[in-house]
Amino acid sequence: MKLHIALAQFEPSFKVLKNLQKMTDLISHSTKGDIVVFPEGCLSGYSDNLDFLQKDIMKDIDLAIVELQQISKEKDIHLIFGSCIIEDDDWYNAGFYISPKGVKHTYKKVNLAFHERETFKAGNELSCFYIELDGKQIKCAIQLCREIRFPEQWKFLSLQGSEIIFYLTNTLGSEHLPVWNSHLISRAAENQRYIVSSNITSKEQGCSTMIVSPKGNIVKELVSDIETIERISINLEYNSDWYLSQSRTDLVNIRARA
């Protein structure tokens, strides 16, 4: 099955409505049926210093999500993006999927960075969701930033049937770029799944905004310091369970705890 990813990157601020406007401007260049992918924390803003997160911004975040749901419906596109959110008085670092039919899925980051642990509550589920395109259901998942360092999570999601794993990050430090990009290539090749990565715009990107094929080849990599959206075609027929099916589950078996 062929489909189109509209891969986007920009530099978020700490102003929710300003970020929404940038997202809206980029979305305007997408086409019906596209899966539009944005970085981690792009709606709320994000920083290593999380003091900017105050409860009063949640009203703007909620309003912005409603606006994005309306845009998704009007343009008949699928949206994937990151935002910090509050649920039951707890902050989470979350990834969202919004469908043109009104479906909303929220993934809460399960493996928090050290600087996040005083502010965020960790999620407790490696969840999947379905994207409906041309009458077909495509099972997908989201991972966030440092979760690239935990290959067992990616293998688990692949074993659950995920065909695309969307990787949303907000990481800087160009000295880290070769290693983090190598992680993305490994996660794609070892699980034989498409990996779609979106990072914030910067000359100092610590991980590229790019798509990696199930063979570990880079399909497309965006220029790091340009706010842009690019439309890329992928073919899910290249996905495979060839290596997953050869795992020595009699020795090592990955499963989720109830």
Q: Where are the domains of the chain?
A: 2-246
CA-wise closest residue to 80 among 147, 159, 26: 26
**H or E stretch including 18?**
helix 16-27
When pLDDT is averaged across residues 199-222 and rounded to a whole number, the result is 98
pLDDT band at 258 (very low <50, low <70, confident <90, very high): low
When pLDDT is averaged across residues 34-57 and rounded to a whole number, the result is 94
CA-wise closest residue to 140 among 181, 83, 111, 98: 98
**H or E stretch including 35?**
strand 35-37
Distance set, CA 49 to CA 4, 57, 117, 160 (Å): 35, 16, 12, 35
CB-based contact 6:230 (threshold 8 Å)? yes
Question: Which CATH superfamily hosts domain 2-246?
Answer: Carbon-nitrogen hydrolase (3.60.110.10)
Which pLDDT value is given to residue 255? 80
Coil vs helix vs strand at 76: coil
Backbone angles phi, psi at 27, to 5 degrees: -60, -30
CA-wise closest residue to 216 among 199, 251, 200, 240: 240
When pLDDT is averaged across residues 195-212 and rounded to a whole number, the result is 98
pTM assigned to the model: 0.96
Tell me the C-alpha distance between 256 and 249, whole Å: 14
pLDDT band at 72 (very low <50, low <70, confident <90, very high): very high
Backbone angles phi, psi at 200, to 5 degrees: -75, 155
Tell me the C-alpha distance between 33 and 3, whole Å: 8
| Cβ within 8 Å of residue 190, ≥6 positions away | 151, 154, 155, 243
Average pLDDT, rounded, for the chain: 96
Residue 66 has pLDDT above 90, yes or no: yes
